[in-house]
Amino acid sequence: MKVLITGAAGFLGSHLCDYFLGCGHSVIGLDNFVTGNLDNLAMASKNSNFSFRELDLINGLPSSLPAVDAVLHFACPASPKDYFKYPEETLKVDSIGTFHVLEKSSRDNAKFIMASTSEVYGDPEIHPQPETYWGNVNPVGVRSVYDEAKRFSEAATMAFYRNRKLDVRIARIFNTYGPRMQVNDGRVVPNFISQSLNGEKITVYGDGLQTRSFCFVDDLVRGIYKYTTIEDPKYRIVNLGNPDEYQILQFAKIIVSLLGDGSEIKFEPLPLDDPKQRKPDISLAKEMLEWEPNISLSEGLLRTIDYFRKQIKNTL
């Protein structure tokens, strides 16, 4: 199978490149390096079945791209720090960019896998969140550049499914962490680990009682692969994430315990529109894909801490 992966130099995109290549497929990677990192493609670049092009999806795809069997659309800033910095780019890549790759999938009669997000559920009033939940999103809030971009991409994807009979799959991805995240990413796992490794106080926003669930990247890409390769999926929208739920304050104490450095915790005001709860209902993924996470939080965090320790050491 020949696969096109957008956002290939990003955190998730690069792991997907490695996974598909490791399963014997050919991969074409695309990225414009707004938030991606060429170092993330070091392993993929050693594989003769991998090719890469630097381009901006907003400007369209070159006609010289070969036909593919599947398109995985993972090009979009994913951390609040990044989409606050690049609000217009975020909106465009998940609107104009999405249409460009949908057209490519349609021309090639290729499967289309859309990287959506748990952010489409907003600050949820239903817990845990099933795929049938429409969400509670502020369409003009500070996070709307990301939330609404992804919701638009979902709508565009389903329009191609209904109008052109395109084989589409929408993966609503919940909090995922692991090696290759940016040290200064701004999300909770990189924040807590890098602050602790740097001897700083760990910043908890609000009272720390808000909850999140954390899925290790290896589990997530395994789920994406299963969703991509399954024939005639029963469900066109599927949650992928780890249903184990932790209060943020509890999670900070786990990081401190694993690092054993006695880092202190400081509290800052809660950001606007920050969700109070976040936990996936993965019943559909279990049923259709026979998938669920199997890497424990402690194992995943230790592997992530080891990566961050090396990254921080290399910058000194």
Residue 140: CATH number of its domain? 3.40.50.720
Residue 298, Ramachandran bin (φ over 0: left; ψ between -120 and 50: alpha; else beta): alpha
pLDDT mean by block of 10 residues, the chain; 316 residues: 98 98 98 97 98 97 96 96 96 98 98 98 96 96 96 98 98 98 90 92 93 97 98 97 96 91 86 89 98 97 95 73
Residue 151 lies in a domain: yes
pTM for the structure as a whole: 0.96
Distance of alpha carbon 69 from the chain centroid: 22
- Tell me, yes or no, whether 28 lies in a domain: yes
**Amino acid 168: pLDDT:** 98
Cβ partners under 8 Å of residue 192, min gap 6 = 202, 251, 252, 255
> Would you state the pLDDT for residue 316?
53
The DSSP line for 126-159 is SSSB-TT---B--TTSTTHHHHHHHHHHHHHHHH
- Domain range enclosing 223: 2-179+214-242+279-294
Per-residue pLDDT tens digits for 103-147: 999 999 999 999 999 999 999 999 999 999 999 999 999 999 999
Q: With beta carbons less than 8 A apart as the criterion, state whether 16 and 224 touch.
A: yes
Q: Is residue 84 part of a domain?
A: yes
Cα–Cα distances (Å) from 97 to 86, 123, 276, in that order, read 15, 27, 31
- How much is the pLDDT for 273? 83
Task: Provide the pLDDT for residue 315.
Answer: 67
Residue 225 belongs to a domain? yes
Q: What is the pLDDT of residue 261?
A: 73
* Residue 154 placed within a domain: yes
pLDDT in the model for residue 81:
92
Say what the pLDDT of residue 314 is.
Answer: 72
* Residues designated as active site: 146
Does residue 186 fall inside a structural domain? no
- Separation of CA 46 from chain center: 24
**Does 17 reside within a domain?**
yes
Indicate the number of domains in the chain: 1
Assess if residue 78 is contained within a domain: yes
